[in-house]
A and B are shown apart, each in its own frame.
Chain A
Amino acid sequence: MTAEDLREKQTEELARQQGLQNRILCCTAAGCISCGASGVRQALAAEVEARGLSDKVEVCGTGCMGLCSRGPLVLNTASQRLYGNGVDAATIVSGSAPDQPGQSIDLQAPFFTRQTKIVLANSGRVDPEKLTDYIAAGGYQSLAKALEDMTPREVIEEVKKSGLRGRGGAGYPTGLKWDLVAKQAAPTKFVVCNADEGDPGAFMDRSVLEGDPHRVLEGMCIAGYAVGAQQGYIYVRGEYGLAIQRLQNAIKQAEREHLLGSRILEQAFQFRIDLRIGAGAFVCGEETALIASIEGKRGQPRQRPPYPPASGLWGEPTLINNVETFANIAPIIEKSGQWFASIGTAGSKGTKVFALAGKIANTGLIEVPMGMTLREILFDIGGGIPERKFKAAQTGGPSGGCIPEEFLDTPVDYESLAKIGSIMGSGGLIVMDDTSCMVDVARFFMEFCMDESCGKCIPCRAGTVQMYDILRRITKGEGSPADLEMLKSLAVLLRETSLCGLGQTAPNPVVSTLKYFPEEYQAHIRERRCPAGHCQLAPTDQEVPA
């Protein structure tokens, strides 16, 4: 396929879609499938056929529509009505209002209108299993533009201009990283997509891969062109079966149409992408551990430098970016870096995808411009906390912190979150109300880090065990005042001396809860009581229910 064929195909498919009377879009992301989306889709197809509308009405599966708590979601595009759980197929196909007003979801609600979608622009609109659908939405045009009209240097300059920073959590400027890899003289280089989304409570990357896999492939392919690599790997979590299946399908489709493989778009550029399936180790999100895992070894990090741009996979220069970072590339090339830089704050450009979960009305997937305040995200988009009182928001998973109510007006960007002791992280945003015990939350995350420590360096291997043990004792009512000092000194030790990010950031949830909720620790230690009523402090032999 040439760039010309690509544009032709787009016109053709758009004309076909416009010729239809109606398109009914069913969310077939993993969340909605667990709520029975496959059955709904079949019922809709049967209903369309029964009415003899098969050539006028199309029933398509799409990626995540965002409002996971109301799933399975179905959008009737002709009547622009979004249906939630429990509406019969006849009502949906006719596009009429459901019997119960609660089953129809208002598309003008702040949940939808306050979002800005770049990464998720196609999610919920495009069938992730059909390449033509992605092409109709303008897919692979950015790749064509890069290959036809831009030099690799110009691509990197555009990414630099955009101000895009790594979406995996650390926020390293993407353009700079690309530049580092491009400057290496080695003939063999690699592009790796980190899809080992391990933070408990985060499902952004999975949703992007399930909802718009071609977007990630296109981003990686452009990156390969920019840095001079011919081989890419996507390292995806083994738990994400549907994402793996859709990626495999997308890679096959793209290869068939010469959008991947040799002579891409009939130009002298080749790029292959292979999948590597992870095997359930959180530490493999760390780049050097991820590389070890792709090489078939235990996923243990190594000392840096050398950083992967100098010496990565099999010792060759390697570019590693997160799923969401790659998903931002095609829009940047299409609309310019300047356009991207006009969204967000001075230091954090563009948008960020968050997975809203926990004690919040609208759980699901959202995308907002950088710099929006937590209050706007949680109360306008998230719909607030049902019934009870807000206590804390947790960002950044086991490497992040708990943000109390007094900081709800903090803008969400890399710098502001770091200032209040949390991190942007990959995008998990978990809300807790006054029934959550913050000491137990700290214990929960420390248990996670203890289990996931790879065991290579002693501060992390032994330190997490010590910190966990102290926290466990406190939640059981066996803590002493000296424990708090010990926790603080261990936190410094882990942060300063651990080999990789896992150990260095493991104390963050403890430090932030100690700082913002000291009275809860004191109540457990001095009064042997849990203010949230969560921990059972009676001195029994029973395990503390969490």
Chain B
Amino acid sequence: MVTSPAAAKDNREKMLERAMSRHQYSGAALIEVLHTAQELFGCLSPPLLKTIAHKLKLPPSRVLGVATFYHFFSLKPKGEHTFVVCIGTACYVAGGFGLVEKLEHRCAKAGHTTEDGKVSVETARCIGSCGLAPAVIYDGTVLARVTPAGLEAELNKIGVR
């Protein structure tokens, strides 16, 4: 079944509304609501933040403050594919920064997305897979003991120049 984009969008707004009502529109649930909003919409756009502030009866500054304080929340849309390179201590010792360099060389600076919206490059402060260092999360899947050559192969597969 194919839903039109407009219908899907409608649904997302409803789902966000439901999440807020589950928490009785309490300001204390702001972080939970932001988690849900990001899950539904991919990122927290300024209009979305304003809507949330209005519904939870919080000053927009407070909502923006919380959204920008935590690394998990992103105010810009993500690329089609996301590479998160772990740069926790174990991955650092095992050469995680070499992988960041490779991605920055071929795609975009860490924390950014390529201009064509294809790949987002991010870094993480320890994903807890230290036994598998260096680790990269590629579209939600943890890749273990990644080498620059292995990363290169993944990039070639998705057609990054």
Contact = CB atoms under 8 A, between A and B. Distances in A.
Contacts of A428: 89, 130
A358 B90 contact: yes
B131 A364 contact: yes
Interface stretch (B12-20, B63-71, B151-159): B63-71
B57 interface: no
Nearest to A275: B32
Given A202-B126, A357-B90, A238 B131 contact: no
Given A200-B89, A358-B90, A280 B71 contact: yes
B64 to A, nearest CB: 11
A238 B35 contact: yes
Interface in B26-57: 26-32, 34-35
Q: Which of B31, B32, B144 has the most A CB atoms < 10 Å from its CB? A: B31
Nearest to B100: A546
Interface in A283-330: 293-299
A146 to B, nearest CB: 31
Contact of A71 (B72, B73, B90, B131): B131
A363 interface: yes
Interface stretch (B2-10, B75-83, B91-99, B113-121): B91-99
A30 to B, nearest CB: 6
A397 B131 contact: no
Contact of B90 (A33, A34, A430): A430
B160 interface: no
A279 B90 contact: no
Nearest to A293: B31
Q: Contact size class for A? A: 35 or more
A355 interface: yes
A203 B87 CA distance: 14
B129 interface: yes
Q: Which of B28, B62, B65 has the most A CB atoms < 10 Å from its CB? A: B28
Interface in B98-148: 98, 101, 124-133, 135, 141-144
Contact of B89 (A35, A201, A297, A365): A201
Contact of B124 (A71, A239, A432): A239
A397 B88 CA distance: 10
Given A34-B143, A295-B28, A298-B69, A363 B126 contact: no
A454 B68 CA distance: 11
Nearest to B101: A545
B72 A444 contact: no
Given A279-B71, A281-B70, A357 B28 contact: no
B93 A203 contact: no
A200 B27 contact: no
Nearest to A35: B144
A206 interface: yes
A434 interface: no
Contact of A277 (B31, B88, B89): B31
A546 B85 CA distance: 14
Contacts of B126: 198-203
A227 B54 CA distance: 38
Contacts of B135: 34
A357 B89 contact: yes
Given A35-B132, A296-B27, A296-B29, A279 B72 contact: yes
A30 B92 CA distance: 20
A364 B131 CA distance: 5
A63 to B, nearest CB: 14
Contacts of B93: 357-359, 430-432, 436
A507 to B, nearest CB: 17
Contacts of A206: 128
Contact of B131 (A31, A277, A452): A31
Contacts of A436: 93
A68 interface: yes
A416 B69 CA distance: 37
Contacts of A394: 89
Given A200-B125, A299-B69, A34 B98 contact: no
A448 B123 CA distance: 12
Contacts of A448: 125
Given A198-B125, A199-B126, A277-B31, A296 B131 contact: no
Q: Which of B73, B124, B144 has the most A CB atoms < 10 Å from its CB? A: B144
Contacts of A414: none
Contacts of B29: 296
A299 B130 contact: no
A197 interface: yes
B30 A296 contact: yes
A238 B32 CA distance: 11
B131 A281 contact: no
Nearest to B35: A277
A69 interface: yes
Nearest to A436: B93
A397 B31 contact: no
A282 interface: yes
A431 B66 CA distance: 36
Contacts of A281: 69-71
B23 to A, nearest CB: 9
Nearest to B67: A279
Interface in A363-385: 363-365
B143 to A, nearest CB: 7
Q: Give the top 6 A-B pairs by smallest Cβ distance, nearest first.
A: A68-B131, A200-B88, A201-B89, A279-B70, A357-B90, A280-B71
Interface of A: 30-31, 33-35, 68-69, 71, 197-203, 206, 238-240, 276-282, 293-299, 355, 357-359, 363-365, 394, 397, 428, 430-432, 436, 444-445, 448, 451-452, 454, 545-546
Given A202-B126, A239-B124, A357-B93, 14 more contacts: A31-B132, A33-B142, A68-B132, A201-B90, A201-B126, A239-B127, A278-B70, A278-B72, A280-B71, A280-B72, A296-B30, A298-B65, A358-B133, A364-B131
18 contacts: A33-B142, A34-B141, A34-B143, A68-B131, A199-B126, A201-B130, A238-B35, A239-B127, A278-B72, A279-B31, A296-B31, A357-B133, A363-B90, A363-B131, A363-B133, A365-B131, A430-B90, A452-B125
